[in-house]
Amino acid sequence: MKASIQKFLDSAQTFQCPICGNALHTAGSSLQCPDRHTFDIAAKGNISFLRSQHAHDGLYNQSFFENRSALLSVGLYDHIVREVAHDVSRLPDSHATTLLDVGCGDGTLTKRLQSLITQSSFDSQHQREQAVRELTIFACDISSLAISIASRGSNTIRWFMADLANLPITDSSMDIITDIFSPANYEEFRRVLRPQGSLIKVIPGKHHLMELRQEIAKSHGEQPKGYSNDDVVQGIEQHCTIEHITTASATLQLSKAQWEQFLAMTPLMFHLDKTSIDLDSLRNLTIEAEIVQATMQ
């Protein structure tokens, strides 16, 4: 059996049917529940648990993911992912964990996170190889295009398509959930996390993309407005006990080509005219996030 398929068969007990909620078992190269709801594992190493097969991509198209992957691959968010990896690696029993990355997109950050956790937690090559086997990472997104891109190449991550409001994950089976600039469903997080499991949620900091926000305001003849994530933090506090918050901030110099890529990948520009932005006036870009580590109430 191909490794890309075998990794799902080895983790069958972690999944549940999103239609009826029953446990799934292996059936050839598929996962199946007692009611015979069947979910085929693609040869490239992903599986769809979406009940309907209509597209969920919308504005998140091929161009979006290509530009996103190109920028993230050169380390645009690396300072943020390093802080997330640090939080994960210092958790108790972090050498043997199950981790679910929700809203993983094209998987660039998930793969980088896996690499950093392994490097920061273990010293010798033998220990690193053992760690990769013990650290079981599951990653999901609602976009079939994103998961198709994420599952390219050989890796141990269990990539799957799913609705965040109906995760095909069994109760109390995850040690950690990471949520990097993605929506949250706290009821589902509470269900799938083990007691005292950790949620690590990354949200924009108050200076995030401030140069672009200023340029957008200027192009509309408006005064720049400050950004606050207070409402987001308060929303987290309604469902979780926040253990600590860490700020990760870096101001990077982008080339004109990189700025064009960034404008094509940021949701901030989805409904705006990109030609209204004066690229010649843009050089630096601040990428700032707050990494919130919390436990569910």
Q: Return the domain boundaries, the chain.
A: 3-296
Q: Would you call 126 helix, strand, or coil by DSSP?
A: helix
What is d(CA 192, CA 173) in angstroms, rounded to the nearest whole number?
6
DSSP state of 23: B
Q: Which residues are annotated as a binding site?
A: 17, 20, 33, 37, 77, 208
pLDDT at 67: 87
Q: Write 42-45 long-range contacts (CB < 8 A, 24+).
A: 42/4, 42/151, 43/2, 43/4, 43/5, 44/4, 44/148, 44/151, 44/152, 45/3, 45/4, 45/5, 45/7, 45/8, 45/151, 45/155, 45/159
Which residues of the chain are modeled with pLDDT < 70?
1, 53-59, 93-96, 120-133
DSSP state of 41: B
pLDDT at 95: 56
CATH dotted code for 3-296: 3.40.50.150
Q: Which residues are annotated as a binding site for S-adenosyl-L-methionine?
A: 77, 208
Q: How far apart are the first and last CA of the chain?
A: 41
Q: Which residue has the tokens 């690229």?
A: 279
pLDDT at 221: 83
| CB-based contact 79:250 (threshold 8 Å) | yes
| CB-based contact 243:295 (threshold 8 Å) | yes
Q: Which residue has the tokens 């909620």?
A: 21
Q: Which residues are annotated as a binding site for Zn(2+)?
A: 17, 20, 33, 37
What is d(CA 60, CA 146) in angstroms, rounded to the nearest whole number?
8
Nearest Cα residue to 274 out of 211, 219, 227: 219
- The burial of 282, by beta-carbon neighbours within 10 Å (0-12 exposed, 13-18 middle, 19 or more buried), is given as middle
Nearest Cα residue to 68 out of 172, 235, 181: 181
pLDDT at 297: 85
What is d(CA 267, CA 61) in angstroms, rounded to the nearest whole number?
12
3-state SS string for 157-200: CEEEECCCCCCCECCCCEEEEEEECCCCCHHHHHHHEEEEEEEE
**Taking the CB of residue 191, how many other CB atoms lie within 10 A of it?**
16
What is d(CA 141, CA 107) in angstroms, rounded to the nearest whole number?
9
pLDDT at 134: 74
pLDDT at 124: 45
